[in-house]
Amino acid sequence: MKVRSILIIALTIITIKLQAQHKFQPFENLLGNWKGTGAGFSNNTSTIMSSFQFTLNQQYIEVKNESVFKPTEKNPTGEVHQDWGFISFDKQRKLFVFRQFHIEGFVNQYIFNQAISTPEKLVFESEIIENFVPGGKARWTIIINNENAIETIFDLQMPGKEFVCYGTNKLEKLN
């Protein structure tokens, strides 16, 4: 009886993990830790650490980014930017949602745009941004160059204007 119970528990855990991996299939290549450099972001360069990890019983992908900007003439102390977020699947709307919380107080809620995304290009477009210019929008694009190299592009759109690239990152997988 004990063996049967252990087998049922093990099969349940394996099933949950397989369902989570399948549910998040578009993002499987992102899972892990990344390191790289950034450009743009008010004409500064940065070093960046990023991670994409399953969390909370594999119901979400936790996304963490930390960019360190060296001191410049305009910003003699330098700067550290952090953002944390979660990718989830909204069963009612049948789409992925990425909620991103920034150290500056901005909160972006993106939806994954399946219509323009491909396996090599993942595009998230903001639904709402808290504590930002009313009517402003953001777009976060991840280009998967290969299993060990990605690029991210962060675009902003002010009301009545076109999207403008605010910054890019080039990252290599650490594990």
Half-sphere exposure of residue 77, counting CA atoms within 13 Å on the CB side? Answer: 3
CB 148 within 8 A of CB 173: yes
120: CB partners within 8 A, 6+ apart: 143, 144, 145
Give the single-character DSSP code of 70. Answer: P
Question: Distance between CA 83 and CA 10 in Å, rounded?
Answer: 35
Asked if the model's pLDDT at residue 4 lies above 70, the reply is: no
- pTM passes above 0.75: yes
Q: Which residues pair with 60 in a beta bridge?
A: 55
Q: 12-16, 144-148, 157-161: lowest mean pLDDT where?
A: 12-16
pLDDT in tens, 9-47: 655 555 555 444 578 999 999 999 999 999 987 767 899
pLDDT bin (cut points 50, 70, 90) of residue 125 is very high
What residue has token string 């993942």?
122
Asked if the model's pLDDT at residue 164 lies above 80, the reply is: yes
Question: Distance between CA 76 and CA 111 in Å, rounded?
Answer: 36
Quote the pLDDT of residue 20: 47
Ordered domains of the chain (ranges, CATH):
2-173 (2.40.128.20)
Query: In 35-74, which positions are buried (b, 16+ CB within 10 angstroms) versus exposed (e)?
Result: ebebebbeebebebbbbbebeeebebbebebbbebeeeee
CA distance to 23, 62, 78, 104, per residue, from 83 (Å): 24, 11, 17, 9
86: CB partners within 8 A, 6+ apart: 55, 60, 61, 62, 63, 98, 99
